[in-house]
Amino acid sequence: MFSWYRQVSQGERYTFWACFGGWALDALDVQMFSLVIPAIIAEWGISKTQAGLVSGVTLVASALGGWICGAAADRYGRVKTLQVTVIFFSVFTLLSAFAQNYPQFIVLKALQGFGFGGEWAAGAVLMAETIRNEHRGKAMGAVQSAWAVGWGAAVLLYAAVFSFMSPDMGWRVMFAIGILPALLIIYIRRNVKEPVAPASKAAVAKGTKERTPLLSIFAPDVLRMTLIGGLLGVGAHGGYSALTTWLPTYLKTERHLSVLSTGGYLAVIIAAFFFGCLAASQLLDRIGRRQTILFFSVCCVATVIVYLFVPLSNHAMLALGFPLGFFAAGIPASMGALFNELYPRGTRGTGVGFCYNFGRVVSAGFPVMVGHLAAKYSLGFAIGVDAAFAYAIVAVSVMMLPETRGRTLTEDVAV
């Protein structure tokens, strides 16, 4: 499974671990919120809909960050943009710990989201252009497994902090620890090199026909890819957000699990997510990008329906948590390779940043809809409806995209 790692250069390995560390620390910061929703609701007396709005606003901001910072990566370079965005989201995660009320918190979370979205866009293009063609799918799928590492770290931190501190203090301590990703800058500056020189003005003009960088992805030759890629992003992020934002609250309030028991259930899903990313990384270079995403999206729909609509015992839910996490991992693990291969070099950062993060704009409504539906129906029903619908969108949209396996990223023509 990891034989490819021995075949790549030291520079490729440095880049892999820089992106792996970045995404793990991203996950640590981002997943904190879903774990502390009950504490924040209790402290400020907000509704579930308002709590869902925080997640929604963060997703919208991250979409803008991905699009804008993706364009910055095309103009100023992947590595420089990566460093700036890591610092940005780390600082605003820390500042979130000091929010005094709901309006302050939502603004700080939005700024954190902007940095997070930008970091993914810059890192994804950096990885795609650094790793050789025959191993791109395996490397990018494997690096996505870092999300499970950071998610697991967030759950462990949650269990430790909330076991020894009151909820009103515990959630603030967790966000304060979110400054840690800033330390990654030291590693990046020392070891990671720019894979492609930032496009000159002449090159940009030649490659994009004098297009405005942010709007170059809407040119006729790539417009179809942009629209369908954005739709795929909507489904992928919508399903993931509906599940991960509200699942800890569902386990605690409707399944009546303790902090430690909730952590145990999440641990199964997180471990499965890790292995799901590794499985997808192998399938991407064997059966292709389209078939891999289609397989995981169909399995996601089926698993979500069983997990949230079929009456299950706590033990059965624990067991089913593994396929739930496993199949949910395959889609995000596959999108980085696919999106990078849809665009020519001059607009790649912008295109990847938009497609992956545009989904966050529309998907921002999914956690809010869950909170709204939960006011009339059960929280489990609300999560299940939203997540199943979102993953069905993924299955439909990926069938409209071309297979891009094996594409050389030095090409300057769109597929």
Block mean pLDDT (10 aa), the chain, length 415: 80 88 81 83 84 80 86 86 89 91 92 87 86 85 87 85 88 87 82 66 45 73 88 88 76 66 72 90 90 93 85 76 87 87 82 82 77 79 87 93 78 47
Cα 309 from Cα 385, distance rounded (Å): 9
| pLDDT score of 134 | 82
Write b or e for each residue in 270-287: b if 16 or more Cβ atoms lie within 10 A of its Cβ, otherwise e. Answer: bbbbbebbbbbbbbbbee
Cα 27 from Cα 282, distance rounded (Å): 23
Write b or e for each residue in 3-28: b if 16 or more Cβ atoms lie within 10 A of its Cβ, otherwise e. Answer: ebeeebeeebbbbbebbbbbbbbbbb
Residue in this structure with the two tokens 């809407």, named with its chain if needed:
218
DSSP state of 287: T
Kindly give the interhelix angle for 223-253 and 314-342, rounded to the nearest 10 degrees: 160
CB within 8 Å of 217: residues ≥ 6 apart: 223, 226, 343, 347, 350, 351, 354
Domains of the chain and CATH, by start: 7-187+212-398 (1.20.1250.20)
Kindly give the interhelix angle for 10-44 and 102-130, rounded to the nearest 10 degrees: 160
User: Which amino acid is residue 78, in one-letter code?
Assistant: R
| pLDDT score of 393 | 93
| pLDDT score of 398 | 93
pTM for the model: 0.76
